[in-house]
Amino acid sequence: MSVLGQPTPRIDAASRVTGSARYTGDVRLPGMLFARVLRSPHPHARITAIRPERALALDGVKAVITHQNCRIVWSSGDSRNTRYLFNNPVRFVGDAVAAVAAIDPHVAEEALQLIEVSYQTLPFLLDSEKALQPGAIAIHPGGNLSPNEAGVRQPEVYRRGSIDDGLRESELVYEGRFTSAHVNNAQMEPRVSVASWDGDELTVYASTQGISNCQRDLAKDLNLPLERVRVVCEYMGGGFGNKNQCHDFDLMAAVLAQQAGVPVRLELTRKEDYVAVHGRWATHQYYKIGVSRDGTLQAIQLRGYSDMGAYRKSSGSIAGIELYRCPHVETTVHPVHTNTAVAANYRAPAYPQGVFGLDSMMDQIAHELKIDPLEFRLKNATRAYHDELPYTSYGLEDCIRRGADVFEWRKRWRRAASDTGVVKRGVGMAMGSFAARVGRSSAVIRLDASGRYAVHVGVTDAGGGAKTTMAIIAAEALGVPLDRVTIVSGDTDRCPYSIGESGSRTTNFTGYAVVEAARDLKQQIETRGLPTGSVVLIGSATPEPVIKGAARYSFAAHFVEVEVDVEVGGLRVVKYVAAHDSGRIVNPLTARSQVKGGVTMGLGMALHEQLLYDPRTGRPLNAGYYGARVMTHLDAPDVEVLFVETQDAHGPYGAKPIGEPPIIPSVAAVANAFFNATGRRIRDLPISRERILEVLA
Residues near another protein, by CB under 8 A = 106, 109-110, 565, 567-570, 607-608, 612, 614-617, 619, 621-622, 625-627, 629, 631-635, 688-690, 693-694, 697
**DSSP helix/strand/coil, 402:** helix
Write the burial class of residue 6 (CB in 10 Å: 0-12 exposed, 13-18 middle, 19+ buried): middle
Report in angstroms how near the CB of residue 606 gets to another protein at its nearest: 12
Query: b/e for 645-654, b at 16 or more Cβ within 10 A?
Result: bbebebbbbb
Strand ranges inside 463-552, DSSP E: 485-488, 537-541
Question: In terms of CB distance, is 358 or 573 closer to another protein?
Answer: 573
Question: In terms of CB distance, is 1 or 697 closer to another protein?
Answer: 697
Single-letter amino acid code for the residue at 94 = G
Report in angstroms how near the CB of residue 625 gets to another protein at its nearest: 8
Question: In terms of CB distance, is 331 or 688 closer to another protein?
Answer: 688
Report in angstroms how near the CB of residue 627 gets to another protein at its nearest: 6
Question: In terms of CB distance, is 226 or 621 closer to another protein?
Answer: 621
Report in angstroms how near the CB of residue 605 gets to another protein at its nearest: 13
| CA distances from residue 86 to 97, 190, 196, 262, 401 in whole angstroms, order as listed | 5, 21, 21, 22, 53
Torsion region of 324: left, alpha or beta (phi above 0 gives left; psi -120 to 50 gives alpha):
beta
Which helix (H) or strand (E) segment holds residue 589: the answer is helix 588-607
Let me know: does 308 contact 341? Beta carbons within 8 Å.
Answer: no
**C-alpha–C-alpha distance, residues 253 and 36, integer Å:** 10
Question: In terms of CB distance, is 116 or 614 closer to another protein?
Answer: 614
Q: Give the single-character DSSP code of 235.
A: B
Question: In terms of CB distance, is 273 or 363 closer to another protein?
Answer: 273
Question: In terms of CB distance, is 371 or 696 closer to another protein?
Answer: 696
Report in angstroms how near the CB of residue 631 gets to another protein at its nearest: 7
**C-alpha–C-alpha distance, residues 74 and 192, integer Å:** 17
Report in angstroms how near the CB of residue 547 gets to another protein at its nearest: 42
Report in angstroms how near the CB of residue 575 gets to another protein at its nearest: 17
Single-letter amino acid code for the residue at 420 = T
**C-alpha–C-alpha distance, residues 314 and 320, integer Å:** 17
Query: b/e for 401-427, b at 16 or more Cβ within 10 A?
Result: bbbbeebebeeebeebeebeeeebbbb
Question: In terms of CB distance, is 105 or 238 closer to another protein?
Answer: 105
Question: In terms of CB distance, is 448 or 635 closer to another protein?
Answer: 635
Question: In terms of CB distance, is 538 or 695 closer to another protein?
Answer: 695
Transcribe 653-688 into DSSP letters. Answer: GGB---SSGGGTTHHHHHHHHHHHHHS----BS---
Which helix (H) or strand (E) segment holds residue 290: the answer is strand 282-291
Let me know: does 513 contact 457? Beta carbons within 8 Å.
Answer: yes
- Which is nearest to 251 in space by CA: 278, 227, 277, 217? 217
Report in angstroms how near the CB of residue 275 gets to another protein at its nearest: 11
Write the burial class of residue 122 (CB in 10 Å: 0-12 exposed, 13-18 middle, 19+ buried): middle
Residues 6+ apart with CB under 8 A from 106: none
Question: In terms of CB distance, is 225 or 615 closer to another protein?
Answer: 615
Let me know: does 279 contact 185? Beta carbons within 8 Å.
Answer: yes
**DSSP helix/strand/coil, 214:** helix
Report in angstroms how near the CB of residue 114 gets to another protein at its nearest: 13
Report in angstroms how near the CB of residue 697 gets to another protein at its nearest: 7
- Which is nearest to 472 in space by CA: 634, 388, 632, 588? 588
Report in angstroms how near the CB of residue 128 gets to another protein at its nearest: 19
Question: In terms of CB distance, is 375 or 694 closer to another protein?
Answer: 694
Which helix (H) or strand (E) segment holds residue 109: the answer is helix 105-114
Report in angstroms how near the CB of residue 619 gets to another protein at its nearest: 6
Report in angstroms how near the CB of residue 105 gets to another protein at its nearest: 10
Let me know: does 260 contact 33? Beta carbons within 8 Å.
Answer: yes
Question: In terms of CB distance, is 17 or 621 closer to another protein?
Answer: 621
